[in-house]
Amino acid sequence: MTGPRRRQRRFPPEFRIHPPQEQPTAAVGEPEPAPADLDDRTVAEVATRMWRVLKRFSGDEESRAQRMAVRDLTAISDRLGEAGVHVQGHDGISWDPGMSLKALAYEPRPHLERETVVETERPTIYRGERCIQFGHVIIGVPEEGQGDGTGNH
């Protein structure tokens, strides 16, 4: 035993620095497997709550505390992304009834030309390649007298 390992023996075991463990690395371009130690419901709940807080803090005026919270929440979001958990909001996209989203309500809105997601109540969450939570959205529809004139929505 030579070098740094020998020097570590001078200290009690609880103060010794252990050599780094080799960790297998994923092949380039290959997605990292989803963590298996948390169930999908827990992951979806944590990701949803993180998304909601980030959405609330997205206003124009921010205090120092809000900026710090946003920075921490963004770091959590990034780490979840690295672990294969992706959160997807749907605000502003065109609505198609065939989408894998649950429409909670249809609301008439001015200045809309077609049905559009105006608010995401619950985001869609993917864990690896699997969808573990479908999004819940509110759909804005053109007010009467606007849009295609059919009155359908």
Give the span between the Cα atoms of 140 and 132, in whole angstroms. Answer: 26
Predicted local confidence at residue 149, as pLDDT: 47
Look at residue 131 and tell me whether its pLDDT is greater than 50.
yes
The answer to whether residue 153 sits within a structural domain is no
The answer to whether residue 147 sits within a structural domain is no
The two three-digit tokens of residue 21, written as one number? 């463990």
Higher pLDDT, 24 or 30: 30
The answer to whether residue 76 sits within a structural domain is yes
CA distances (Å), 69 to each of 44, 45, 62, in order? 20, 19, 10
The answer to whether residue 122 sits within a structural domain is yes
The answer to whether residue 19 sits within a structural domain is no
Predicted local confidence at residue 86, as pLDDT: 92
With bands split at pLDDT 50, 70 and 90, how would you rate the model's confidence at 88?
A: very high
Residue 102: φ, ψ to 5°: -100, 120
Look at residue 11 and tell me whether its pLDDT is greater than 80.
no
Q: Which residues have CB under 8 Å from 73's CB, separation 6+?
A: 50, 53, 54, 57
**109 lies in which domain range?**
37-142
Closest CA to 124 of 97, 96, 102, 140: 102
Which residue in this structure is represented by tokens 């020998």?
Answer: 6
Domain count for the chain = 1
Which residue in this structure is represented by tokens 């809000």?
Answer: 66
With bands split at pLDDT 50, 70 and 90, how would you rate the model's confidence at 145?
A: low
The answer to whether residue 48 sits within a structural domain is yes
The answer to whether residue 97 sits within a structural domain is yes
